[in-house]
Amino acid sequence: MDEETIKRFEQILKAREFYVVGKKVARVDALDAVLGRPMYTTDLLTSKALYVRAVRSPHPHALIRSIDSSATRSVRGVVDVITHREIPGVNDAGSLTSDRPLLAVDRVRHYGEAVALVVGEDEVSVDEGIAAFRVEYEPLPAVFDPVEALKPDAPRIQEQGNLINHVKIRKGNVEEGFSASDVVIRNEYRTPFMDGVPMEIEVAYAYPEPDGTITCIASMQNPFDVYNKVTKVLGLPPEKVRVIQAATGGGFGPKSDESPIDVAAYAALAAYRNRRPALATFTREEAMAVQTKRHSFRIVNETGATSDGRLLAWRSTLYLTNGPYYSKGHLVIQRATFHCTGPYEVPNVWADGYAVLTNNTLAGSTRGFGAPEAHFAAEVQMDVLAEKLGMDPLELRMKNMLRPGSLTATSQRIDDDGLVRCVEAAARLSRWTERRREHEQFNRANGRYRRGIGIALLYHGNTLGPEGEDYAVVHLSVDERGKVKLQTGLTEYGTGALTSLAILVAEALGIDVRDVELLRPDTRAVRNPGPTVASRTTVIGGRAALDAAAKLRAILDPIAAELLGCRQDELVYRDGKVMVAGDPNRSISFRELVRRAIGMGLELKVEGFYKAPDTKWDKETGQGAPYNQYTFGALVSEVEVDLLTGAVRVLRMTAVYDVGKAINPLGLKALIEGGSIMGLGHALTEEFLLSDGVPVTLGFQGYSIPTSVESPFEIVQEVVESEGKIGALGAKAMGEIPVVLPMASIANAVAHAIGYHIKETPLKPSRILEALEELGIAYRP
């Protein structure tokens, strides 16, 4: 179907009142979840499976001198041992870049790198087999710090060197900007590695079909990434591998990267070699050791402004600490660098972002993809500047924020007023000025507790932009009962995006959401829709869903028009009926219409497609329009700091986001709350620590994520709808967004409470106490 027809169809949809879109609709999968129906991978095991687990390196960097699996093979219950030599196809498991072997060949580059697989009848025999496995290593010099890793004499982790991307922004003349500034401040910000920690551990179940096909059911975000690598590893023809996504208990990025490929390939190899079903999973500690982490960042921001608070110059240097393999590090640095000034107009910007390989464990995509770290550094910087200028932090932001006509750091022109509306709403809802005064009043009592309020603003370049081809495919078919089946390789793993697709289809066909049935993502049944990442399912996938619905309408409209004796453009699809506009008595039920169409021999099966326009920017200057549209937002946090223990409590948050168009309001509410709480963890407790490359914070006792009692008592929300250029019905990306601002917003609130900006996360009690001691305000009873 041509672009013109689709556009017209969407315009017709937008022009009228919505019947389903924007209404309170329950998640399509909520009923199964509350009843505890089997839907996750290990719920679906059909027969006794072999168990697979990896022998892993205890060294962050070492040569493999020799491997001896003889003792392992003699362990009772062990049925197979697989090293790189036994891989029938290509030893390649890198999600985007073919730099990461599934099983190490002669060298390991991080703690926990897989050297071999042990396959056995059960977990116990496999664990015994692993304990009996002998590997002789020769440790190599390793490097863990990005600045060290860039030195010429640093150990080379991969052939081409340790610098894997250098992203530049060159806008205006930054030196002149600084010369003209009345105030210049320079600060360094640091954030640690963090773990997305989906609650469901990576798992894959593979079995051989009678025709030799290897079918793999697994927990993941991107079935096609997994399919491509499993096919390559097994060396099988494409039609002999099938990957199905089971319900997936959380994604958060790690499940789009390396570890889902690993477990799927482990299970598939074991099933293929032994002609039996096989299950591969991790222990929680193993998962935390090897799943890709949020990169650690070191960011230096230098900012110049006039005495009345106009930003004139901004220089950023960003170091992203990667693991030893690319994963998504080269792309994460790009997003972080493009967003380095925060959502402000600065006439002169100079930025250098470096992504650097180290021998730390794997890092990759995690919800927000570099934006939380960039916003933390930019938004605390804005607060420090406000303090220096003696201005209210909100006032300084309003003076410089992106408005219609503003140019971003990459000189992309902003057309909509989303940010302005978010900031105004957040100030009003949070009662910014009064609350600020109240907290200051509270602090004058000089008791054990201090309170503060902080704000941070967001812009987030939508969907893939410079990170890949931004297209989607959604398949629809209709059966004789009038049920519409929606199937796509885009996946659900918690954000509710597939419910949004169902809502869009229901809206376009005038049926109840419950009459849209979701079929599982299955590489044999659908075309590759691109990855389910970058918050793009509702925005881009939604367009493909509408395209598919329009194609169904193109089949059904002529039949309905003839039956009802009207023109096609007079047809209205609503409440499960198709009727003539202005004459609702002339109608036919959707089901009856479908039955007639099928009776005429028509196949009601279509494929919807959408591809976002390519984005353009100059690699040398970073200037251009790297994203098709931006999500905007503002987050106000109020905290209480215990001057005795250093503990921080978040009392209340006020979150306002410009979502473009709220397709699924109930889903948005949970998403915004939940992302705020995840971000709260990033701000206050989460740090994945390694000691010379060896993880020390494994398990939930080592790595602390927020629980119910750390959650704010209240998260006040409002959404603004400032229509996006490309999203379905104007929707903007939201999946990752709520996790971007909490670090910055909470850090600024803490600074307001204690009178000092801590520039490193997490704001854990020991770090707060250190600051309190320095400030001389620690509480002594």
Partner 1 sequence: MVELKVNGRPYRVEVTENELLVDVLRYRLGFMGVKQGCGEGDCGLCLVLMNGRPVHSCLIPAWRADGSDIVTVEGIGSETSLHPVQRAFIDQGAVQCGFCIPAAVLIGKWLLDRGLAGDRETVRWAYRGLLCRCGSYLRFEEAVAQASRGG
- Within 8 A by CB and 6+ apart from 605, the residues are 475, 476, 477, 478
For residues 521 and 48, give the distance between their C-alpha atoms in angstroms, rounded to a whole number: 24
Q: What are 652's two structure tokens?
A: 């209340």
Does 377 help bind partner 1 (rule: CB under 8 A)? no
Per-residue CA distances from 144 to 23, 164, 721, 759 (Å): 50, 15, 44, 21
Q: How far is the CB of 245 from partner 1 (least distance, A)?
A: 13
Tokens of 746: 């909470």
128 interacts with partner 1 by CB under 8 A:
no
Site stretch for partner 1 (CB under 8 A), options 174-182, 546-554, 707-715, 745-753: 707-715
**Between helices 432-443 and 418-430, what is the axis angle to 10°?**
40
Q: Which amino acid is at 776?
A: G
Distance of CA 298 to the CA centre of its chain: 21
Q: Is 294 in the site for partner 1 (CB under 8 A)?
A: no
> Is residue 683 a contact residue for partner 1 (CB under 8 A)?
no
Strand extents, DSSP E, 462-515: 471-478, 484-487
Instruction: Note whether 29 binds partner 1 by CB under 8 A.
Output: yes
Q: Which of residues 648-667 bind partner 1 (CB under 8 A)?
A: 666-667
Minimum distance between the CB of residue 197 and partner 1, rounded to whole angstroms?
A: 6
Closest approach of partner 1 to the CB of residue 665, in Å = 9
What are the backbone dihedrals phi and psi of residue 513, each rounded to the nearest 5 degrees, phi first?
A: -55, -30
**Closer CB to partner 1, 252 or 609, in the complex:** 252
Among 161, 172, 624, 674, indicate the residue that binds partner 1 (CB under 8 A).
674
In the bound state with partner 1, the residue whose beta carbon lies nearer, of 27 and 436, is 27
Q: What percentage of the chain's residues is helix, strand, coil (to nearest 5)?
A: 35, 25, 40
By CB under 8 A, the residues from 708 to 727 that bind partner 1 are 708-709, 711-712, 714-715
Q: Does 670 bind partner 1 (CB under 8 A)?
A: yes
Quote the least distance from Cβ 237 to partner 1, whole Å: 34
Asked if 707 touches partner 1 (CB under 8 A), the answer is yes
40 contacts partner 1 (rule: CB under 8 A): yes
Candidate ranges 30-38, 160-168, 296-304, 772-780; the one touching partner 1 (CB under 8 A): 30-38
Assigned token pair, 557? 């409209």
Contact between 157 and 61 under an 8 Å Cβ cutoff? The reply is: yes
Can you list the alpha helix ranges (DSSP code H) found in 516-659? 542-564, 590-599
- Pick one of 363, 497, 501, 671: the residue that binds partner 1 (CB under 8 A): 671
CB of 38 to partner 1, least distance (A): 4
Of the residues 213, 283, 528, 568, which one makes contact with partner 1 according to CB under 8 A: 283
Q: Which stretch, 50-58, 269-277, 539-547, 694-702, contacts partner 1 (CB under 8 A)?
A: 694-702
Which one among 8, 32, 441, 562 touches partner 1, defined by CB under 8 A?
32
Side chain identity, residue 706:
P
Rounded to 5°, angle at Cα 253 from 157 and 761: 75
493 binds partner 1 (CB under 8 A): yes
Stretch of 195-203, 411-419, 531-539, 560-568 contacting partner 1, by CB under 8 A: 195-203
- Sign, CA dihedral 426-431-434-438, equals negative
- Integer Cα distance of 528 and 526 in angstroms: 7
Q: Which is nearer to partner 1, 32 or 188 (CB)?
A: 32
Binding residue count for partner 1, defined by CB under 8 A: 58
Phi, psi torsion values for 249, nearest 5 degrees: -80, 65
User: Does residue 494 belong to the site contacting partner 1 (CB under 8 A)?
Assistant: yes
Which residue lies nearer to partner 1 by CB, 251 or 353?
251
Count of Cβ atoms closer than 10 Å to residue 445 Cβ:
9
Q: Is 199 in the site for partner 1 (CB under 8 A)?
A: yes
Q: Which of residues 42-81 bind partner 1 (CB under 8 A)?
A: 42-43, 45
CA 87 to chain centre: 32
Distances (CA, A) of 496 to 85, 250, 547, 707, 775: 42, 11, 20, 22, 45
- Contact residues toward partner 1 (CB under 8 A) are 26-27, 29-40, 42-43, 45, 196-201, 247-252, 283-284, 493-496, 666-667, 669-671, 673-678, 699-701, 705-709, 711-712, 714-715
